Amino acid sequence: MTLKERFLQYVGFDTQSDESSTTFPSTDKQLVLLRHLAEEMKALGLTEVEMDQHGYVMGTIPATPGCEGAPVIGFISHVDTAPDMSGKDVKPQIIENYDGGDIRLNDQLMMCVADFPELAFFKGHTLITTDGTTLLGADDKAGVAEIMTAAEYLMLHPEVKHGKIRIGFTPDEEIGRGVDHFDVARFGAKYAYTMDGSIEGELEYENFNAASAKLTVNGRNIHPGYAKGKMINSLQVLCDLHALLPEAMRPEATAGYEGFFHLIGINGSVEKASASYIIRDHDRKLFDEKKELMTAAVAFINKKYGFEVVALELRDQYYNMREMVEPHPEIIEKAMEAMQLAGVTPKVQPIRGGTDGARLSYMGLPCPNLFAGGMNFHGKYEYCSLDSMQRAVETICHLAVLWAK
């Protein structure tokens, strides 16, 4: 099966995760693709293929003769798509030899170079886009397809010398639970790479420190005609609290290493309301200061009313993997060399987000993130480059060889 065929097959599976679910995986439909991948791995001849009770799929590309002593490395991708937009009935559109201009997704929707200037990089590539009604699922089915295509190539070409390679596919990455039950010891790799990056050449071993904040407001609803001195409007309380957070620390005002507070949801009524935030920063000290600022804002509001009108639930999600990866510079050096062998210019940069690799790095498996070739994740403008995806496959294969030398 070609890389293109494999990717188009995988995006046909609806694997959206659900943050409100209390099960793991959060949706049963993710298990459908995970079972398919396990069967496909077996058909390709991989060994030690298993799907555990949590839905994790693992398998092995055995070492070629003479390379059994090489370090065991792993490649990992997640199968779920983001809750932000539907991943059901995805209808990919294929653009051969992209001319560098605006792309019509449907009769009402255009993806314009003026809005997405990075499109210029892909002139001459084969692009796969959405039809403007769903996301595409390149995050991270591009990575899944690349790993499986590389696995097929290595199984069919025993003359390519490599050590033992472990493959892992995870659910629920998009809702921050992707490795909640991942058995690092069972996976058995010394180092691993997530194939979950974006534009060609991305090599990331720095990510945000991340926390979630949930605010619950218990107000007091009084007839508005007689509310003076009595009403506590829960929605207004949330607005007042939000105004205490710096405007310059919102996602739309930040870039690079700058962190932020991001209001991702708000709902309720006068009587009761809630809001959800994510808090991000690459620097641990600045991350802690942001959490302290959120706590102080809640305390200020509660002091204003004289009782706990706002309850705060603050939870750390993951941390910057840099401190776990930097002691092992060979992981990055080999990734850069593999990219160059594949004709790719490495672009080392921080992730303005997180991956399964961030948490895995703190679980004892140093795990930087490599490009997968997708762009504009989580929405109707998502697309990927088949050319970049092919170079990601080649990067995986070169890494397999380099770790055996």
**Does the annotation flag 139 for ligand binding?**
yes
Q: Is 256 exposed, middle or buried (0-12, 13-18, 19+ CB in 10 A)?
A: exposed
**Does the annotation flag 196 for ligand binding?**
yes
**Does the annotation flag 52 for ligand binding?**
no
**Does the annotation flag 152 for ligand binding?**
no
Q: Is 248 exposed, middle or buried (0-12, 13-18, 19+ CB in 10 A)?
A: exposed
∠ CA 77-134-85, nearest 5°, is 70
Pairing status of strand 310-318 against strand 209-218: antiparallel
Catalytic, out of 173, 202, 204, 206: 173
Q: How many CB atoms lie within 10 A of CB 137?
A: 29
Q: Is 240 a catalytic residue?
A: no
∠ CA 229-245-221, nearest 5°, is 25
Element (H, E) at 144: helix 138-156
Catalytic, out of 40, 80, 140, 146: 80
Cα separation, 11 vs 92, in Å, equals 8
Element (H, E) at 191: strand 191-195
Q: What is the DSSP letter of 82?
A: -
Largest pairwise CA distance in the chain: 85
Cα separation, 32 vs 24, in Å, equals 14
Cα separation, 368 vs 232, in Å, equals 48
Q: Is 80 a catalytic residue?
A: yes
**Does the annotation flag 174 for ligand binding?**
yes
- Which residue ranges make up the annotated binding site? 78, 139, 174, 196, 378
Residues carrying an active site annotation: 80, 173
* Bind-site residues for Zn(2+): 78, 139, 174, 196, 378
